[in-house]
Amino acid sequence: MGSGEKTSLASAIDGDRLWQRHMELARIGATARGGVNRQALTPEDGRARAKLLDWAAPRGFAASVDPIGNLFIRRPGRDAAAAPVVTGSHLDTQPTGGKFDGIYGVLAGLEALEAMCDLGLETRLPIDLVVWTNEEGSRFPPTTMGSAVFAGALPLDRALATRDATGVSVADALAAMLAAHPIDGRRPLGFPMAAYVEAHIEQGPILEATDKVIGAVTAIQGLRWFSIEILGQAAHAGTTPRRQRRDAFSAAVAMVTALERLMVDETDTVRFTVGRVEVAPNSPNTVPSRAFFTVDLRHPDAATLARLGDQIEAVCRANTRGCAVTVVETIRSEPATFSPKIVSAVTAIAHRLGLPHMEIVSGATHDAKFMAGRCPSGMIFIPCREGVSHSEDEDARPEHVTAGAHVLAEILADLANSAD
């Protein structure tokens, strides 16, 4: 691939180029175990964006950013004033992340646009490739920060004021990134889109287990994130009797134990995770004065998500062991349903290309969730090895990477040339 006459999107998609770019981006923030640590708005995140812009520049695509740093790279259409079709994902990773989560949607989008250029394929509507800011939320909670702010689901001021564990704010980290890698163009939040389609690895085991190459994503389950801070009193571990203690970590353990009981679910559908725990002063012989933990709660059913999430604060308050507790919900997103038109278009394209496919619900959250209420939206999944993601072991097969990019290019071209 990549040489000879380009007569179709299939021949114009360059699978080697696409794969090599994944490997090249994976060097920015590479971990010793073969994964990637490129958390949002770090110098590494900035370098990955700059690398992407280097690849886009020879095509003449213009770049712009919105107030939360979401990056848009435009392939023009004949109708310059029209709302664009948008595709993309994110370049930030988990602390022990992989080479594909998010990166695939961005690189497959660029590949689709380049294939259209190589083919001389014009579209009526512009197509924007988006890199959403801070999808992972591991450095700055919450997850999907950039798309939530874009869609008005999270106030810009609150997002910009969010601080990481070392006290750096999103506002300062974003300013530093834009100073290191300046971008001239500016875009407003919430501008109209004609359609939104995001490609992503599945991050679960279903496609691989059923020998499918393409997932036409019908929905994303709902999600609620909470931050729980407990303040007690530091005291001597050897001298302070139990009933005099206000042990913040002991309270945290009681809270998490009670929450685990609340989340028991015979159907194994509830997803409940305490992924970050902090203890201060973190000294073996001092009773902890402060504890902090996060809750990530997900469910496909809005009523169940509401019922469980609404009990979290009360359960924490019932287990304070004499400490003070503050419970803050940092993001709530309801289950999202994608456009049936986009789901059937993905299915039809996969069918026409002879790619085994199925409809699938996403367990992971995605920026596409916040586009679903704004314009016809959808997602294309490809398998990943053993369904492993948010892990240095994350992997995908080159032929699947290419196939998903091909499906993406076809649907983007169709949407950008459709009459309405």
- Contact footprint for ligand GLV (CB under 6 A): 136, 143, 364-365
Residues near Mn ion (CB under 5 A), total: 2
Q: How far is the CB of 267 from ligand GLV (least distance, A)?
A: 20
Nearer to ligand GLV, 143 or 319 (CB): 143
Choose which of 45, 66, 101, 164 interacts with Mn ion (CB under 5 A): 101
CB of 390 to ligand GLV, least distance (A): 7
Please identify, using beta-carbon distances, which residue of 66 and 101 lies nearer to Mn ion: 101
Residue closer to ligand GLV (CB basis): 76 or 363: 363
Report the candidate in 385, 343, 341 with the shortest Cα–Cα distance to residue 362: 343
> For 162, phi and psi rounded to 5 degrees?
-65, 135
- Reported as type and span, the H/E element at residue 309 is helix 302-309
Question: Using CB under 5 A, which of the segments 98-106, 120-128, 314-322, 337-345 binds Mn ion?
Answer: 98-106
Q: Which of 406, 404, 407, 383 is nearest to 395 (CA)?
A: 383
- Cβ proximity to ligand GLV: between 42 and 143 the closer is 143
Instruction: Give me the phi and psi of 254, to 5 degrees please.
Output: -60, -40
To ligand GLV, the closest distance from the beta carbon of 364 in angstroms equals 4
194 closest CA partner among 83, 345, 77, 109: 83
Decide: helix, strand or coil at residue 225: strand
Residue 271 in contact with residue 297, Cβ under 8 Å? yes
H-type alpha helices, 93-169: 103-119, 145-150, 156-161
Return the residue matching tokens 């959808």: 378
Least distance between ligand GLV and beta carbon 277 (Å): 17
Cβ-contact 415, 197 below 8 angstroms:
yes
Q: Which does 114 bind (CB under 5 to 8 A by kind): Mn ion, ligand GLV, none?
A: none
CA neighbor of 25 nearest in space, from 13, 40, 36: 36
CB atoms within 10 A of CB 346: 28
Q: State the DSSP code for 175.
A: H
Cβ 405 to ligand GLV shortest distance, Å = 21
By beta-carbon proximity to ligand GLV, the closer residue of 14 and 136 is: 136
Yes or no: say if 413 and 113 are a contact pair by the CB < 8 Å rule: no
Rounded distance between C-alpha atoms, residue 414 and residue 420, angstroms:
11
Minimum distance from residue 135 beta carbon to Mn ion (Å): 6
- By a kind-dependent CB cut-off of 5 to 8 A, residue 133 interacts, out of ligand GLV, Mn ion, none, with none
Partner interacting with residue 143 (select from ligand GLV, Mn ion, none; CB below 5-8 Å by kind): ligand GLV
Pairing of strands 271-273, 290-299: antiparallel
For ligand GLV, give the closer residue by CB, 128 or 394. Answer: 394
Question: Which partner from the list ligand GLV, Mn ion, none does 70 bind, CB cut-off 5 to 8 Å by kind?
Answer: none
Rounded distance between C-alpha atoms, residue 245 and residue 319, angstroms? 14
> Stretches 93-101, 111-119, 183-191, 246-254: which one binds Mn ion (CB under 5 A)?
93-101
Residue nearest to Mn ion (CB): 102
Q: Among 102, 141, 204, 288, which residue interacts with Mn ion (rule: CB under 5 A)?
A: 102
Nearer to ligand GLV, 119 or 364 (CB): 364
Residue span binding Mn ion (CB under 5 A) among the ranges 99-107, 206-214, 283-291, 334-342: 99-107
Cβ closest to ligand GLV, residue 123 vs residue 221 = 221
Question: Any idea which residue has 């970050």 for tokens?
Answer: 276
Per CB under 5 A, residues contacting Mn ion are 101-102
